[in-house]
């Protein structure tokens, strides 16, 4: 039986696998000694006892050295890990705080954007209403301008008609004025202007029993520019026919003469 097969030596080799240079050197030296020894070289019981004692001492010392080194390395590694974890924790804590601040800022900006969008939507709605109102007012303005244009045209047309009527009325008045002297002289006729544009015709010397008895009719020109008998005294049944005829012929002198004839015929009844 060799030393390599002993339990202590096997454990020695397993422990020697640790990454400690001093322990590895000692283990290598001891192994070399043990390899040179054999049981045939140990001849006495004392040498065996001494050999076992040396093995125990070596094993105790080896465990002490190896255990302390591992503990120290473990502690150093633990402290290093703690420091790394602490550093990482502080770093990520700052990152989380920055992230929270960033989220708060994003939420704040989002709220501001929503508010701005709401304001923009309200302004767009107001703008649309204003545009619609402006469009309606523009249409109303166009309608008003068209109405004004039509009114102007109507006014011009009415002015032309009125001017034409005034001209015709003036011409009639001139004819009446020319006829007045003749009628007054030959027909014993008196013409008076009453109530603005109305003319009153007074015939005398008709009734042979009472030459001063008046026979009267009142004449005017209506809106259509036509002669219109307003009143007649004494009334004549044929006055409507005489009025229609003077409107058709526009022969005023003949109309006055025919009225006098009608009054004369009436005086003999």
Query: Of the residues 26, 57, 83, which one is the last residue of a structural domain?
Result: 83
Contact between residue 210 and residue 194 where contact means Cβ atoms under 8 Å apart? no
Please determine, for residue 229, whether its predicted confidence score (pLDDT) is greater than 80: yes
Q: Per the domain annotation, does 112 fall within a domain?
A: no
Please determine, for residue 16, whether its predicted confidence score (pLDDT) is greater than 50: no
Q: Per the domain annotation, does 208 fall within a domain?
A: yes
Please determine, for residue 78, whether its predicted confidence score (pLDDT) is greater than 60: yes
Q: Is 195 left (phi over 0), alpha (psi -120 to 50) or beta?
A: left
Please determine, for residue 32, whether its predicted confidence score (pLDDT) is greater than 70: no
Contact between residue 35 and residue 46 where contact means Cβ atoms under 8 Å apart? no
- Residue-level pLDDT at 228: 93
Give the residue among 262, 198, 254, 194 at the shortest CA–CA distance from 229. 198
Vertex 22: Cα angle to 21 and 28 (nearest 5): 90
Stretch (H or E) spanning 191: strand 189-194
Please determine, for residue 5, whether its predicted confidence score (pLDDT) is greater than 50: no
Give the residue among 41, 38, 35, 34 at the shortest CA–CA distance from 59. 34
- Residue-level pLDDT at 58: 80
Query: Of the residues 56, 83, 110, which one is the last residue of a structural domain?
Result: 83
Q: Per the domain annotation, does 223 fall within a domain?
A: yes
Confidence tier at 200 by pLDDT (50, 70, 90): very high
Confidence tier at 170 by pLDDT (50, 70, 90): confident
- Residue-level pLDDT at 33: 53
- Residue-level pLDDT at 252: 87
Give the residue among 25, 92, 97 at the shortest CA–CA distance from 62. 25
For the segment 191-215, the average pLDDT, to the nearest whole number, is: 88
Q: Per the domain annotation, does 41 fall within a domain?
A: yes
Q: Which domain holds residue 36?
A: 3-83
Q: Per the domain annotation, does 137 fall within a domain?
A: no
For the segment 157-169, the average pLDDT, to the nearest whole number, is: 85
CA–CA gap between residue 210 and residue 234 (Å, rounded): 15
Q: Which residues contact 216 (CB under 8 A, 6 or more apart)?
A: 200, 201, 202, 203, 231, 232, 233
Other Cβ atoms less than 10 A from the Cβ of 189: the count is: 21
What Rg do the C-alpha atoms of the chain give, in angstroms? 73
For the segment 192-208, the average pLDDT, to the nearest whole number, is: 87
Q: To the nearest whole number, what is the mean pLDDT of the chain? A: 80
Task: State if pTM tops 0.85.
Answer: no
For the segment 142-146, the average pLDDT, to the nearest whole number, is: 91
Which long-range CB contacts under 8 A does 127-132 form with residues at least 24 apart?
none
Number of domains into which the chain is organized: 2
Query: Of the residues 83, 110, 136, which one is the last residue of a structural domain?
Result: 83
- Residue-level pLDDT at 66: 64
Q: Write the CATH number for 243.
A: 3.30.457.50
Please determine, for residue 235, whether its predicted confidence score (pLDDT) is greater than 90: yes
Q: Per the domain annotation, does 149 fall within a domain?
A: no
Three-class secondary structure of residue 14 per DSSP: helix
Q: Per the domain annotation, does 203 fall within a domain?
A: yes
């Amino acid at each position: 039986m060799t030393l390599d097969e002993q339990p202590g030596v096997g454990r020695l080799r397993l422990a020697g696998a640790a990454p400690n240079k001093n322990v590895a050197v000692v283990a290598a030296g001891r192994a070399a000694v043990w390899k040179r020894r054999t049981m045939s070289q140990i001849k006495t019981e004392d040498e065996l006892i001494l050999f076992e004692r040396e093995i125990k001492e070596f094993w105790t010392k080896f465990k002490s050295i190896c255990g302390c080194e591992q503990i120290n390395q473990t502690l150093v590694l633990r402290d290093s890990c703690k420091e790394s974890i602490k550093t990482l924790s502080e770093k990520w804590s700052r990152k989380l705080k920055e992230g929270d601040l960033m989220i708060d800022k994003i939420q704040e900006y989002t709220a501001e954007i929503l508010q701005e969008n709401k304001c923009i939507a309200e302004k767009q709605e107001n703008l649309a209403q204003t545009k619609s109102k402006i469009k309606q007012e523009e249409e109303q303005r166009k309608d008003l301008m068209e109405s004004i244009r039509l009114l102007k045209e109507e006014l011009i047309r009415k002015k032309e008609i009125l001017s034409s009527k005034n001209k015709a009325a003036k011409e009639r008045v001139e004819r009446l004025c020319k006829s007045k002297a003749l009628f007054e002289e030959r027909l014993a006729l008196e013409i008076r202007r009453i109530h603005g544009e109305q003319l009153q015709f007074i015939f005398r010397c008709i009734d042979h029993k009472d030459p001063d008895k008046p026979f009267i009719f009142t004449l005017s020109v209506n809106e259509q520019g036509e002669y219109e008998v307003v009143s007649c005294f004494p009334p004549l049944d044929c006055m409507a026919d005489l009025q229609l005829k003077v409107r058709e012929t526009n022969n005023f002198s003949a109309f006055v003469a025919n009225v006098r004839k009608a009054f004369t015929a009436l005086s003999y009844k």
